[in-house]
Amino acid sequence: MRLQKNTSLALYSVIEFAIDPARRISAAEIADKYGVSSHHLAKVLSELARAGVVESVRGVGGGYRFSGNARRLTLMDIIQLFEDFDPRARERREPKELTAVDMALGAVLSEIDEIAKATFSSITLATMLRLIERQQSGATTAAVRQDGERTAVRPGIPRSRDRKSNGRRKLA
Amino acid sequence: MTGLEKRSYWRSVYRRYGDAEQAGRKFLVADAGGRVVGFVIGEVRDWEFGSQPCGWVFAIDVRPDIRRSGIGTRLLEAICASFRRAGVRKLRTMLARDNTLILSFFRSQGMMAGLFIPLEMDLET
Ligand SMILES: CC(C)(COP(=O)(O)OP(=O)(O)OC[C@H]1O[C@@H](n2cnc3c(N)ncnc32)[C@H](O)[C@@H]1OP(=O)(O)O)[C@@H](O)C(=O)NCCC(=O)NCCS
């Protein structure tokens, strides 16, 4: 399974919102952080809003805020908004035109897809946030070991005010 | 972890695991004021695939009417503590791919895909 750029963008955005559900974030801020155009991101965010994952905030600056249930919402719920999983969508030929090679390759590829789907369906946003925390404390311990001092270490996810200093990140 | 009722299977499980804590076998129940509301079954195995001894969880179940209140988590914590006391540093389980509920539960506890991939095939008769 290869996720399209919009899908990864949606995942990054939703996590960004869910980390701090009370916080209003503008499309421009996320677009800037991930090096995409605001126009491009706006489409992703309005799809997320349509699905009720985020809600738009009126007023100065506008933007969005998390409005989903992090304990119930899975990565698959978000991915499904942007990807078409119907195998027929990928296969443009009629079933009777398929050769044994097509079918054998199809079987292997769908094995991979099934595992991917099971994985995405079993990870809620709450689980994802815990995973991020664990990565941070892992990174923290590693860093502590490296420079041997505790105080200098800060977790990896930037808080709102020092977001800029962390620079841009490109989506893969 | 199939969710099917298999009475004789469970009876034999009880015989093997219910009786004391022998040979690294664990059978823990969650007790709420005298009522059994959940259980977990596992075992320490040290012979598999040349790997380090590890704690296997075979089954975990919480009464449907009181799920989502942390009992599953406490059962798993309890069996992990008992594995740790037995010197084990790794927890494993094997789950049906389409059982999203139980997969979500173990994921929430921090479990990730391991180094092994289960394979199987039908044997022709
Ligand atoms: C899986 C099971 C043991 C979990 O027990 P539980 O007491 O509800 O678990 P907890 O309350 O500790 O839940 C811990 C986390 O697991 C995850 N989880 C539990 N149920 C979930 C569900 N229905 N959907 C998504 N995630 C779920 C959540 O992340 C939850 O944390 P949260 O409530 O803060 O969101 C229980 O649901 C069960 O017995 N299911 C049937 C298992 C089965 O098929 N057994 C067959 C024999 S092995």
Average pLDDT for A82-97: 75
Domain of residue B92, residue span: 14-107
Question: Could you give phi then psi for residue B14, rounded to 5 degrees?
Answer: -60, -40
Residue B23 lies in a domain: yes
pLDDT of residue A99: 93
Hey, are the CB atoms on B104 and A115 less than 8 Å from each other?
no
Query: By the CB < 8 Å criterion, does A126 face chain B?
Result: yes
Determine the straight-line distance between the first and last CA of chain A, rounded to whole angstroms. 15
Which of B76, B52, B59, B70 has the alpha carbon at shortest distance from B18?
Answer: B59
Higher pLDDT: A52 or B1? It is: A52
Chain B residues with CB under 8 Å of A124 CB are 104, 107-108
Over residues A70-87, the mean pLDDT reads 92
B115 within some domain: no
Q: Is residue B49 part of a domain?
A: yes
3-state secondary structure of A85: coil
Give just the sign of the alpha carbon dihedral B99, B104, B109, B112.
positive
What integer pLDDT is reported at residue A72 of this predicted model? Answer: 96
Domain A5-151 has CATH 1.10.10.60: no
Identify the residue whose C-alpha is closest to ligand 1 atom 39: B61
Measured between beta carbons, which residues in chain A are less than 8 angstroms from residue B100?
A: 118, 121-122
| Ligand 1 mean position, distance from CA B41 (Å) | 16
pLDDT of residue A165: 42
What separation in angstroms does the CA of A135 have from each of A126, A127, A131, B48?
A: 14, 12, 6, 29
Contact list in A for residue B98 (CB cut-off 8 A) is 118
CA–CA dist A74, A127 (Å, integer): 9
Whether B116 is covered by a domain: the verdict is: no
In 10 A of CB B110, how many CB atoms? Answer: 11
Task: Check residue B2 and give its pLDDT.
Answer: 42
Indicate whether B30 belongs to any domain. Answer: yes
CB B57 within 8 A of CB B41: yes
Put simply, whether A168 touches B (Cβ < 8 Å) is: no
Span B79-103, pLDDT tens digits: 999 999 999 999 999 999 999 999 9
**How does pLDDT run across A107-148, given as a tens digit for each residue?**
999 999 999 999 999 999 999 999 999 999 887 777 766 655
- Walk across the sheet containing B54-62 and list its strands: B25-32, B35-45, B54-62, B91-93
Least confident of A136-140, A157-161, B14-18, B30-34: A157-161
Report the sign of the C-alpha dihedral through residues B55, B108, B17, B87, in that order: positive
CATH of the domain at B61: 3.40.630.30
B58 CA: nearest ligand 1 atom: 48
Percent of chain A topping pLDDT 90 = 64
d(CA A157, CA B85): 35
Residue with the two structure tokens 């420079």: A147
Confidence of residue A58 (pLDDT cuts 50, 70, 90): confident
Residue B113, in any domain of the structure? no
Could you tell me the residue ranges of all domains in chain A? 5-151
Nearest C-alpha in A relative to B104: A122
**Total structural domains within chain B:** 1
